[in-house]
Amino acid sequence: FAEQLPEIRKAIQEASFFAIDCEFTGLASDRLIFPFDTPEEVYQKTVEANTQYIIVQFGLCAFRVEPAADDDDESAPTEPRLTYKCYNFYCYPKGRTHIFSCQGESLRFLADHGFDFNKLFREGLSFATEAEAERLRSDLKERQANRAAALQAAADGTADDAEPADVNMVPVPAEHQEQIDETAAKIEAFLQSNDTELIVENCNGFQRKLIYQMIEHKYQQRISTSTITLENNHKCIKVERKRTAQEDQAIEQKRVAQENEDLQTMIGLSVVLQELSKARKLVIGHNIFLDLLYTIRQFFKPLPTDFKEFKKLTKEIFPLLLDTKYLCTNAEIKVNVNSSILAHVYEAVSKAPFSIPKVQSGMPEYGYSVEEQKEHEAGYDAYLTGLCFLGLASRFNMDLQNLTKDATLKQYLNKIFIARLLDNNYINLNGKEPTHSREHIFYVTFPETWRTGDIVGKFKPFGSVHISWLNNTSAFVSLHNRIASSSVLKTIGYHPGFAVHSFAQFTQMKLQRLGFKRRRDDSAGAGKQGASAGATAGTKRTATADNSNAKKEAKEKGETLGNEEDELASDGDEQDANDGDAGADGWRTVKRARTTFATNDDW
Amino acid sequence: FAEQLPEIRKAIQEASFFAIDCEFTGLASDRLIFPFDTPEEVYQKTVEANTQYIIVQFGLCAFRVEPAADDDDESAPTEPRLTYKCYNFYCYPKGRTHIFSCQGESLRFLADHGFDFNKLFREGLSFATEAEAERLRSDLKERQANRAAALQAAADGTADDAEPADVNMVPVPAEHQEQIDETAAKIEAFLQSNDTELIVENCNGFQRKLIYQMIEHKYQQRISTSTITLENNHKCIKVERKRTAQEDQAIEQKRVAQENEDLQTMIGLSVVLQELSKARKLVIGHNIFLDLLYTIRQFFKPLPTDFKEFKKLTKEIFPLLLDTKYLCTNAEIKVNVNSSILAHVYEAVSKAPFSIPKVQSGMPEYGYSVEEQKEHEAGYDAYLTGLCFLGLASRFNMDLQNLTKDATLKQYLNKIFIARLLDNNYINLNGKEPTHSREHIFYVTFPETWRTGDIVGKFKPFGSVHISWLNNTSAFVSLHNRIASSSVLKTIGYHPGFAVHSFAQFTQMKLQRLGFKRRRDDSAGAGKQGASAGATAGTKRTATADNSNAKKEAKEKGETLGNEEDELASDGDEQDANDGDAGADGWRTVKRARTTFATNDDW
C-alpha cells in the first residue's frame, strides 16, 4: 500500500470524477423509520441508533475524461476519451481498543460473494479519523522528543539519578527467588563466556519483570536487554553485553524510523480518503446514504447530531456528490429504468435510448470487466456505478468535460436518496427539503383481528385509500381524494378499539414518547420482537395461502425462520435488491413494517 | 454435522470427563476491575458491561478412562487405558437479527493463528439459547398446522372466500401498468404454448408484488407461481400451469421436511452443548471464567444479574467444573509450575515430578499431536487442557476411574479462577467465597507529578508497602505490617492534593458513584482515554529510560502506539500469556491499571 500510495494519489489528482462503494459489517436498522418521516428524522434516528458497524471494503473508481486525441485524425471521433483506475481496499482497524459490531447475515453474505475475511483481518488497511490521527502524531512526537532528551542526558552523563532505584523495586515473592538466583548465575556465566547473547525463556510477564529488575539492579553497567517473541508467540528476555552510546543511538534511530512507519500504517486508508476529499471533484455513489455516513464517521469526523451541521460537514468533505439512485427518480429516466437496483439500472442503460461510452482501464493489468459478475466487491460496484452514471448521463447528452455545469445534473447534485420514505425521499445538502402536506394522512389503531378490508371499509365514505401498515394494530391511511380529509375525524364510523388520529396528533404523540425514551438493546430484545411479529403476521394470513411454493410464501407473507430471511445484506443497495424499491407506492414498506414492528412500543 | 451428530452424542455419553476451550470475537473489558474487588463484583461488572462478543469456535475434547484391558497379559500395566475424541466446532449465528461485537485485535489474532473466517461465516454451525430454540419450534409448529388446515380446506372446497380479493389489491401506479400488461400477454402466450414454465425477470420486489397480484386476480385457476433466485442472486417469478391438490400436497410435504431440517440447522451446536450438560460429568477448562459465561449465554440461558442465581444456574448446567488455572494455585503444584499460562503448564507437567499418562486418539484419523503447535485452535487447546489436567492429577496420584471422589480434587471442584484480583481470586460455585480483611489497604489520591517514591515516602512511618496503581493520580497502598494500619489515617503526613481513604471509605464512594452511573460508550470514548493514559504514563517515565530496545521499552513502560500493543487476544488465557499473571504480587495489575485507567471518573 505504502508503495502504491503515490500512484493512487496521482490517479486521484488526475481524475475527472469518482465513483465509490462500500461494504459494511452491518446495516443500520430501519425498523424505526416511518414511511412519512422527514429526511431529518431519518438522519437523526440513524445517528442516534449509534451502530458500530464499520466499512470493511472501500471501492474507489477514478474516471478520467480527456479531450479527443486529435481532431485531424480521421479515425478519431470527437468524443472525449474515457479511462478509469479502480481500487478495492480492504480496511480493518489496528489497535486493541477498537470494538465494532457485525450483523451475522452481512458477513455471511459477503463471504458467499467471495469476500476474503482472512485477508481482511490479517492485511486490511487501518484507518483513523482526523482527530485520532492528530492524537497519534502528537503522542509519538512527544515520546520521541523525551527519549531523545534522555539519550542525550545519558551520553552527557547528566542523567537524573535523584530517585534511588531501590524505592521502586518490586519485592521478590519467595516462590520466585530460586528462579531469579538461577537467572543471575546464568548471566554471570554468560559474561564469562564468548557467547553473544543469552535467551531467558519460559517466564510469564511478572517473572520477566522481576528479572529485568534484578538485571537493572545488579548488571546495569554490563548488560543490555530486550524482549523477543519466539515463533510460538512466547516472550523471552534477550541478554547481551552493554551497548555503547553510539549503538544505543543507532538503535534509537531505527526505532524512530519504525515508529514513523507504524504511524502511517495506523492512519492507513484515511490518507486516500483525505486525498479524495482534497480533490473537490464529483463523487458518485448509488444509494449512497449509508456509505456517506459511515465514510465520514470512519475516516473523517464523528457524525454531528444536528442535521444542518451534518450537511455543512458533508459539503466540506465532499462538495459535489451525486446519488445515481436519486438520479433514477428523474421522470424521463423512469420511463426506461423501472427498477433502481444497481444491476437493473446497468441492464437498462446498456440499451437504447441510453448508451454507455467506451471506458478503458487506466491500469490494463487491473481492469474490471462487466462480465465478471463480481457484484458486492466494492471496487466492482464502484466501477458499475460509474458506468451506470455514464449511461444515465447519455440520456441528457451531458458534456462529460464540464459535468458540474450541466443544468440537468445540477438539479440532482448533493441530493442523497433515502429509502423507505413515501415522499420526501432525499436529503438536500444544499438547502431545505421540500415539505409535503400531511393533512390527508391518518394514524389509525385497531383490534388485532382487523385486516385490510376492515380499514378500507371504515374509510369508504372518503374514497379510495392507501394503507401503510406499521404493525398488527396500527397503520397510516392516506386518502387519494385529499379534499375529503377535513371531514374524516368528524364523521368516521365508530368501532370498539378503533381510533383515528390526524398526522399532526401522531407527531405530537411521537414527541411525547421521545421524552420517555428508553435505551433499547438493538441486538437482543428488539430483534426478537421483530422476528416474532413477523411470525404472527405470517400466521394471521396463512388462511388465504395461495398456490406458491415454500420460498415464495415465506417471503411474501413475512414468515420468519431465520435462515429463510434474505432481507439483510451488507450494502444498502443489495438490501434494496432483496426488498424491492420502497418507491412510489410503498407496498414494500407495508410488508417490512409488518415483519419488523412488534408492538406500539416499538417506536 | 447432522451426519456426525450421532457419533458425537455417543462420544459424550461414553466419556469419563471433558476438556473444553472457546475462541471469542472479543474479551470482556477488565478496565473496571479493581485488584481488591470481590468475585461477586467482578461477575456483576462483567455481566453489566453486556458485551456482545460471541464464541466462534468451541473445542470439546472427550476423554475416556477404561480399566486396564487384561490383568493377566504380562505386557499390560495395571494403569487404566485412556482415549480421547476431540471436536473443533466453528460456530456462527444464522438469522438476520443477530448482531454481535468484535475486538479488532481478537480477530486479527485468530486469523494470524490460522483461524479460517471464510469457513466460519459460510459454514459455521448456528446456535440458540433454550428459549430461542423453544420459540423457533413452537412458531414452526403453528405455521405448519395452519398451512395444513388451509390445504385441507382448499381440497375440501371450503376455503374462506368471504373477503373479496379486490379489497386488498394494491392500485397499480401508472408507470407500472405497461409492464403488468406485457406480463399478462406473456402468460396468455405461455398458456397457449407447450412450454412447462415461464420466467419473469428483472423486477424489483414491488413489481413482483404487482405481478403476483395480477396473476392471483386473473389466472388463479390456471397458474401456479413461485419465486426463484438466479445465480446472480436476482429474484424472478416462475410461472407454471396450475398444480393439482395432490401436487400441492407433495410440495407441502417436501416443505415441511425442509423446514424441520432448517430448524435443526438453526439450533445447530446447541444440541451438542445440551448433550454435554445432560452427561453430568466433570468438565475441565483452563482459565474458564469467560468461556463459562459466554457458553451459558450463547447456548443455554441469559446470564442472571444476581450472583447466587448465576451459581445456581451454572451448577444446573455443569454440575462438576474444574478450572486447571485455579488448580495451579495449589502450593505443591506451584513449586514446579511457576507460570500458569497453559503452554507453560504443559511444559512443566511434562517433566518430573509430574507425568502425563499415555492418551490415544479414539478417532485415529482425527488425532492431535502436541507437536502440532495448533495453539488457539479451540479443539487443540481443549486437548492440551486435558493433558495438563492429567499431568497435574499425576502429582496427587488421583484415581482416574473415580476422579470426582478424589479428596484433593474435591477442594478445587467448582471453583472458577478470576484473574486480576490480588486475593479472593476464585468464584466458589458451591458456597460463599472467603472474605479478606481490607484494614491494611488504603485508597490514595495525589498530584499527577507523584511517582512511587513520593507515595512510599508518605507511608514510611508504617513500614514497607505494596502499591497498586489505578491511574496517574490514584492507587491502592497496602501495608505489609498490618498492625500499623490503625494509625495511618490519624498520623500520615500532609501534602497539598494528597488524600488517604480507608478501604471502607473507598467502597462507600464507589457505591455513591454507582448511583449516578452514566452509561459509558465502551468502544469509543473509554478506549481512547485508556490509550492516552497509557501514553502519558509512558512519557512520564521516559526520563529513566533503561537500556532496552524498542519493543521492550514500549511494553514495559506502557507506551501505546496501537500496533505495538499486544495485550488483547481472543481467549482469556492468551491475554494472560501476554500480560503475565496477575498472581500473588499484582505488579501486572499495576501496569495494566496505568495503561487502562484514565481519570477518577473511570470507575
Residues of A within 8 A of B564 (CB-CB) are 262
DSSP A305-373: SSHHHHHHHHHHH-SEEEEHHHHTTSHHHHTT----SHHHHHHHHTSTT--PPPEEESSGGG---GGG-
**How far apart are alpha carbons B28 and B297 in whole angstroms?**
13
B508, pLDDT greater than 60:
yes
Mean pLDDT, all residues of chain A: 78
In tens, the pLDDT along A323-334 reads 999 999 888 888
B207–A523 C-beta distance less than 8 A: no
Residues of A within 8 A of B55 (CB-CB) are none
A352, pLDDT greater than 80:
yes
Residues of B within 8 A of A451 (CB-CB) are 163, 168
Which amino acid is located at A233 in the chain? N
Paired strand residues for B23 = B57
Q: Please provide the CATH number assigned to the domain covering B2-127+269-428.
A: 3.30.420.10
Residues 6+ apart with CB under 8 A from B532: A135, A139, B598
Residues of B within 8 A of A117 (CB-CB) are 111, 117-118, 120-121
Band of pLDDT at residue A515, cut at 50, 70 and 90:
low
Fold of A134-265: Ribosomal Protein S8; Chain: A, domain 1 (3.30.1370)
Which amino acid is located at A187 in the chain? I
Cell of A219: 548488571
**How far apart are alpha carbons B547 and B95 in whole angstroms?**
55
Higher pLDDT, A80 or B430: B430
Residue B597 pLDDT = 26
Residue B114, min C-alpha distance to chain A (Å): 9
- Domain A441-518 in CATH: superfamily? RRM (RNA recognition motif) domain (3.30.70.330)
The secondary structure element, H or E, covering residue A39 is helix A39-49
A532–B235 C-beta distance less than 8 A: no
**How far apart are alpha carbons A125 and A576 in whole angstroms?**
28
Band of pLDDT at residue B163, cut at 50, 70 and 90:
very low
Counting every residue written for chain B, the total comes to: 603
B569, pLDDT greater than 80:
no
Cell of B26: 472479543
Compute the C-alpha angle A406/A412/A415, nearest 5°.
145
B554, pLDDT greater than 80:
no
Residues of B within 8 A of A539 (CB-CB) are 142-143, 146
A122, A173, A344 member nearest B584 (Cβ): A173
Interface confidence, given as ipTM, is 0.73
Q: What is the 3-state secondary structure (H, E, C) of A119-165?
A: HHHHHCECECCHHHHHHHHHHHHHHHHHHHHHHHHHHHCCCCCCCCH
**How far apart are alpha carbons B212 and B223 in whole angstroms?**
11
A550–B254 C-beta distance less than 8 A: yes
In tens, the pLDDT along A458-473 reads 888 888 888 887 877 8
Residues of B within 8 A of A118 (CB-CB) are 111, 115-118
Higher pLDDT, B571 or A32: A32
**How far apart are alpha carbons A100 and B103 in whole angstroms?**
7
> Which of A353, A428, A354, A417 has its CA nearest to residue A388?
A354
Residue B256 pLDDT = 92
Q: Is B193 in CB contact (< 8 Å) with chain A?
A: no
Residue A15 pLDDT = 94
Residues of B within 8 A of A527 (CB-CB) are 97-99
B133, pLDDT greater than 90:
yes
Q: Is A170 in CB contact (< 8 Å) with chain B?
A: yes
Q: Please state, as a whole number, how many other Cβ atoms lie within 10 Å of the Cβ of residue A506.
A: 19
Helices (H) and strands (E) in chain B, counts: 23, 16
- Which sign does the torsion angle of CA B399, B401, B405, B409 carry? positive
A97, A120, A205 member nearest B527 (Cβ): A97
Residue range A510-525: average pLDDT?
A: 51
In tens, the pLDDT along A143-165 reads 899 888 888 877 776 655 544 44
Residue B376 pLDDT = 78
Residues 6+ apart with CB under 8 A from A199: A228, A236, A237, A238, A239
A358, pLDDT greater than 60:
yes
Residue range B390-404: average pLDDT?
A: 88
**How far apart are alpha carbons A139 and A144 in whole angstroms?**
9
**How far apart are alpha carbons B574 and B563 in whole angstroms?**
17
Q: Is B93 in CB contact (< 8 Å) with chain A?
A: yes
Residue B78, min C-alpha distance to chain A (Å): 35
In tens, the pLDDT along A539-555 reads 222 222 333 333 333 33
B39, pLDDT greater than 70:
yes
A26–B531 C-beta distance less than 8 A: no
Residues of A within 8 A of B266 (CB-CB) are 561-563
A99, A547, A564 member nearest B225 (Cβ): A547
A3, pLDDT greater than 50:
yes
Residue A35 pLDDT = 77
The DSSP 8-state label assigned to residue B96 in this structure reads T
Percent of chain B clearing pLDDT 90 (strictly above): 31
Cell of A537: 403476521
Residues of B within 8 A of A588 (CB-CB) are 205-206, 209
Instruction: State the angle between helix axes of B342-349 and B572-579 in degrees (0 to 180), rounded to the nearest 10.
Output: 80
From B262, which residue of chain A is nearest by alpha-carbon distance? A563
Q: Give the range among A356-365, B48-57, B273-282 with minimum mean pLDDT.
A: A356-365
Residues of B within 8 A of A225 (CB-CB) are 546-548, 552
Band of pLDDT at residue A367, cut at 50, 70 and 90:
low
Residues 6+ apart with CB under 8 A from A136: A128, A263, A266, A267, B561, B562
Q: Is A315 in CB contact (< 8 Å) with chain B?
A: no
A452–B581 C-beta distance less than 8 A: no
Compute the C-alpha angle B573/B579/B582, nearest 5°.
85
Residue A373 pLDDT = 65
Residues of A within 8 A of B454 (CB-CB) are none
The backbone region for B341, taken as left when phi is positive above 0, alpha when psi lies in -120 to 50, beta otherwise, is beta
- Is residue B164 helix, strand or coil? coil
Q: Is A452 in CB contact (< 8 Å) with chain B?
A: yes
Q: Give the range among A137-141, A487-491, B516-520, B551-555 with minimum mean pLDDT.
A: B551-555
The secondary structure element, H or E, covering residue A285 is strand A282-285
The secondary structure element, H or E, covering residue B285 is strand B282-285
Q: Is A347 in CB contact (< 8 Å) with chain B?
A: yes
Residue B436 pLDDT = 82
Query: Pairing relation of β-strands A282-285 and A474-479?
Result: unpaired
**How far apart are alpha carbons B434 and B491 in whole angstroms?**
31
Q: Is B168 in CB contact (< 8 Å) with chain A?
A: yes
CB A177 within 8 A of CB A160: no
Q: Which residue has the cell 400531511?
A: A438
Band of pLDDT at residue A74, cut at 50, 70 and 90:
low
CB A327 within 8 A of CB A392: yes
A50, A126, A452 member nearest B168 (Cβ): A452
**How far apart are alpha carbons A59 and B452 in whole angstroms?**
52
Which runs of E-coded beta strand occur in A147-263?
198-200, 223-229, 235-241
Q: Give the range among A15-19, A38-42, B324-328 with minimum mean pLDDT.
A: A38-42
Select the residue from A24, A31, A99 to test the B interface by mutation, using most B Cβ atoms within 10 A: A99
Cα A219 vs. chain centroid, distance in angstroms?
Answer: 53
A338–B167 C-beta distance less than 8 A: no
Residue range A135-140: average pLDDT?
A: 92
Residue A38 pLDDT = 87
Which amino acid is located at B288 in the chain? I
Q: Where are the domains of chain A?
A: 2-127+269-428, 134-265, 441-518
Select the residue from B110, B233, B251, B565 to test the A interface by mutation, using most A Cβ atoms within 10 A: B233
> Distances from the Cα of A252 to the Cαs of A144, A249, A553, B535, in angstroms?
9, 5, 68, 18
Band of pLDDT at residue A584, cut at 50, 70 and 90:
very low
Band of pLDDT at residue B594, cut at 50, 70 and 90:
very low
Q: Is B251 in CB contact (< 8 Å) with chain A?
A: yes
Label residue B129 exposed, middle or buried (CB < 10 Å: 0-12, 13-18, 19+): middle
CB B136 within 8 A of CB B263: yes
**How far apart are alpha carbons B139 and A535 in whole angstroms?**
7
**How far apart are alpha carbons A352 and A373 in whole angstroms?**
22
From A541, which residue of chain B is nearest by alpha-carbon distance? B146
- Is residue B405 helix, strand or coil? helix
Residues 6+ apart with CB under 8 A from A353: A336, A395
Mean pLDDT, all residues of chain B: 78
In tens, the pLDDT along A402-441 reads 888 888 899 999 999 998 787 788 999 999 988 888 888 8
The DSSP 8-state label assigned to residue A298 in this structure reads I
**How far apart are alpha carbons A597 and A475 in whole angstroms?**
11
Q: Is A330 in CB contact (< 8 Å) with chain B?
A: no
Q: Is A549 in CB contact (< 8 Å) with chain B?
A: yes
Q: Which residue has the cell 524505592?
A: A167
Q: Is B202 in CB contact (< 8 Å) with chain A?
A: yes
Query: Pairing relation of β-strands A81-90 and A55-66?
Result: antiparallel
CA quadruple A560, A561, A565, A570: dihedral, nearest 10: 110
Q: Give the range among A220-229, A234-243, A513-522, B13-22 with minimum mean pLDDT.
A: A513-522
B551–A228 C-beta distance less than 8 A: yes
**How far apart are alpha carbons B46 and B31 in whole angstroms?**
10
Cell of A584: 412510489
Residue range B364-378: average pLDDT?
A: 69
**Interchain CB contacts (distance < 8 Å): A and B:** 409
- Is residue B588 helix, strand or coil? helix
Band of pLDDT at residue B372, cut at 50, 70 and 90:
low
> Which of A562, A107, A103 has its CA nearest to residue B120?
A107
CB B207 within 8 A of CB B167: no
A566, pLDDT greater than 80:
no
Residue B160, min C-alpha distance to chain A (Å): 8
Largest pairwise CA distance in chain A: 106
CB A171 within 8 A of CB B464: yes
Residue A413 pLDDT = 93
Q: Which residue has the cell 466458589?
A: B428
Residues 6+ apart with CB under 8 A from B193: none
Residue range B355-359: average pLDDT?
A: 89
A208, A347, A561 member nearest B202 (Cβ): A347
Cell of A372: 465478471
A9, pLDDT greater than 50:
yes
**How far apart are alpha carbons A492 and A443 in whole angstroms?**
13
A101–B108 C-beta distance less than 8 A: no
The secondary structure element, H or E, covering residue A459 is helix A452-459
Q: Which residue has the cell 511434562?
A: B350
Q: Is B329 in CB contact (< 8 Å) with chain A?
A: no
